[in-house]
Amino acid sequence: MELKANALVVRLMVIAFFLSWLEHIIERTMSFMGLPTPTSLVIYVSVLMIFYSLTHSGLTLGKKNLLVFLGITFVGAFAVELIKVNTGFLIYTTGMGGKIGGVPFTLPLWFFILAYAAYFTTNLIFPQDGVSPSLGRIAFLSLVDGIVCSSWFTMEDPINVALGNWSWGIPGDYFGSPISIFLIWIATCSCVTFLYRIYERKQQPVSRLKDTPVIAKYLPFFSYTWLAFSASVGSVSLQVPSAAVVGFFASAPFVAMGFYQIYEQEKPAFKARRSINLMHREF
3-state secondary structure 209-256: CCCCCHHHHCHHHHHHHHHHHHHHHHHHHCCCHHHHHHHHHHHHHHHH
User: What percentage of the chain has pLDDT greater than the value 90?
Assistant: 50
Q: Does residue 116 contact residue 187 with C-beta atoms inside 8 Å?
A: no
Cα(68)–Cα(217) distance, rounded to whole angstroms? Answer: 21
Q: How far apart are CA 202 and CA 195, in angstroms?
A: 13
Each residue of 81-108: pLDDT tens digit? 999 999 999 988 876 777 888 888 888 8
- At residue 274 the predicted structure's pLDDT band, cuts being 50, 70 and 90, is low
CB 28 within 8 A of CB 244: no
pLDDT in tens, 159-206: 888 878 888 988 888 888 898 999 999 999 999 999 999 999 877 777
What's the half-sphere exposure (Cβ side, CA atoms, 13 Å) at 151? 25
**Domain range summary for the chain, segments of one domain joined by +:** 7-277
Q: Report how far residue 80's alpha carbon sits from residue 190's, in angstroms, rounded to the nearest whole number.
A: 13
The C-alpha atoms of residue 81 and residue 189 are separated, in whole angstroms, by 13
Residue 237: what pLDDT?
Answer: 84
Question: What is the β-pairing status of strands 99-100 and 90-92?
Answer: unpaired
Mean pLDDT (the chain) is 87
Read out DSSP for the chain?
A: ------HHHHHHHHHHHHHHHHHHHHHHHHHHTTPPPPHHHHHHHHHHHHHHHHHHHHHHH-HHHHHHHHHHHHHHHHHHHHHHHHTTSEEE-GGG--EETTEETTHHHHHHHHHHHHHHHHHHHS---SSPPPHHHHHHHHHHHHHHHHHHHHHHHHHHHHHTSEEESS-BTBTBB-THHHHHHHHHHHHHHHHHHHHHTT-----S-TTS-HHHHTHHHHHHHHHHHHHHHHHHHTT-HHHHHHHHHHHHHHHHHHHHHHHHHHHHHHHHHHHHHHHHHH-
User: How many Å apart are CA 193 and CA 205, to the nearest integer?
Assistant: 16
Residue 77: its pLDDT value, please? 94
- For residue 279, the model assigns a pLDDT of 53
Per-residue pLDDT of 209-225, as tens digits, reads 888 899 999 999 999 99
pLDDT surpassing 80 at residue 278: no
pLDDT of residue 275: 58
What phi and psi, each to the nearest 5 degrees, are found at residue 192? -65, -50
- pLDDT greater than 80 at residue 282: no
